[in-house]
Chain A
Amino acid sequence: SSELTQDPAVSVALGQTVRITCQGGSLRTYYASWYQQKPGQAPVLVFHGKNNRPSGIPDRFSGSSSGNTASLTITGAQAEDEADYYCNSRVNRLSHLGVFGGGTRVTVL
């Protein structure tokens, strides 16, 4: 399947931990990448691959994967982490095309 499924919304208390999940058949073969998008801004890559955090991304962002599910965890959520988060993975080995999940809105309370 080329679809990725995310929960539409989650909330987290300031300083607590939140896990965002992404499910799809392609995740059995390919790692997910995760993007943060704040209102009026372009998305930003926050985690990708087995264990890769781009330069400048706080280490409170981490990722994991098991079977057909990938997860992004924010440990000690901050007010500035309130945003939409999207997962993405490759569709198949013949194509460089990817597919995004529907996005998860994270609210920091």
Chain B
Amino acid sequence: EVQLVQSGAEAKKPGESLKISCKASGYTFTDHWIAWVRQMPGKGLEWMGIIYPGDSDARYTPSFQGRVTISVDKSINTAYLQWTNLRASDTAFYYCARQDRSHDSTIDFWGQGTLVTVSS
């Protein structure tokens, strides 16, 4: 059974750093791209970026380039999303998700989401 288990909710202050995680199981981690998706309160889904665990090739949607870093540790089947300078506007749910092997960027499995709250 494919599972993506994300780290727990975080409460941070503006300017702080944060790294959240997504542990994959039930499939060959290095065979599928992992995406990160943001959902701000009451809003829709937004692609942030994607990484291929096989070679750590990471790509970012332009609006998130330079704001976050996506990485993996394939020795423990885990993907990460990190910030170095959080803003209040980063308050959102963040989902990791597995991309299937089609050509259409279909996401077939999702993590449960991590709520990040940034407030002074």
Give the total number of A-B pairs whose CB atoms are below 8 A apart. Answer: 78
Bound complex: CA of A49 vs CA of B108, how far in Å?
12
Chain B facing A: main interface SS: strand
Interface contact A96-B104, CB-CB below 8 Å: no
CB-nearest residue of chain A relative to B57? A96
User: What chain B residues lie within 8 Å of A37 (beta carbons)?
Assistant: 45
Interface size class on chain B is 20 to 34
Interface contact B106-A97, CB-CB below 8 Å: no
Interface contact B102-A42, CB-CB below 8 Å: no
Per-residue interface assignment for chain A, residues 13 to 52, with 1 indicating a CB less than 8 Å from any chain B CB and 0 otherwise: 0000000000000000011110101000011110011000
Interface contact B111-A97, CB-CB below 8 Å: no
User: What chain A residues lie within 8 Å of B113 (beta carbons)?
Assistant: 42
Is A71 part of the binding interface, using a Cβ–Cβ cutoff of 8 Å? no
Bound complex: CA of A43 vs CA of B96, how far in Å?
11
Bound complex: CA of A5 vs CA of B119, how far in Å?
32
Per-residue interface assignment for chain B, residues 69 to 102, with 1 indicating a CB less than 8 Å from any chain A CB and 0 otherwise: 0000000000000000000000000010001101
Per-residue interface assignment for chain B, residues 28 to 46, with 1 indicating a CB less than 8 Å from any chain A CB and 0 otherwise: 0000010101000000111
Interface contact B44-A88, CB-CB below 8 Å: no
Per-residue interface assignment for chain A, residues 76 to 109, with 1 indicating a CB less than 8 Å from any chain B CB and 0 otherwise: 0000000010101111000111111111000000
CB-nearest residue of chain A relative to B96? A42
Interface contact B103-A43, CB-CB below 8 Å: no
Bound complex: CA of A101 vs CA of B37, how far in Å?
13
Given A42-B111, A88-B107, A90-B105, do A100 and B33 touch, yes or no (CB 8 Å)? Answer: no
Q: Closest 10 CB pairs between A and B? A: A98-B105, A90-B105, A33-B106, A103-B44, A42-B110, A100-B45, A48-B106, A30-B104, A31-B104, A102-B44
25 intermolecular pairs with C-beta atoms under 8 Å apart: A30-B103, A31-B106, A33-B105, A33-B107, A35-B45, A42-B95, A43-B45, A45-B107, A45-B108, A45-B109, A48-B100, A48-B106, A54-B108, A86-B44, A88-B105, A90-B104, A95-B59, A96-B50, A96-B105, A97-B47, A97-B61, A98-B47, A100-B44, A103-B44, A103-B45
Q: CB within 8 Å of A: which residues of B? A: 33, 35, 37, 44-47, 49-50, 52, 59-61, 95, 99-100, 102-113
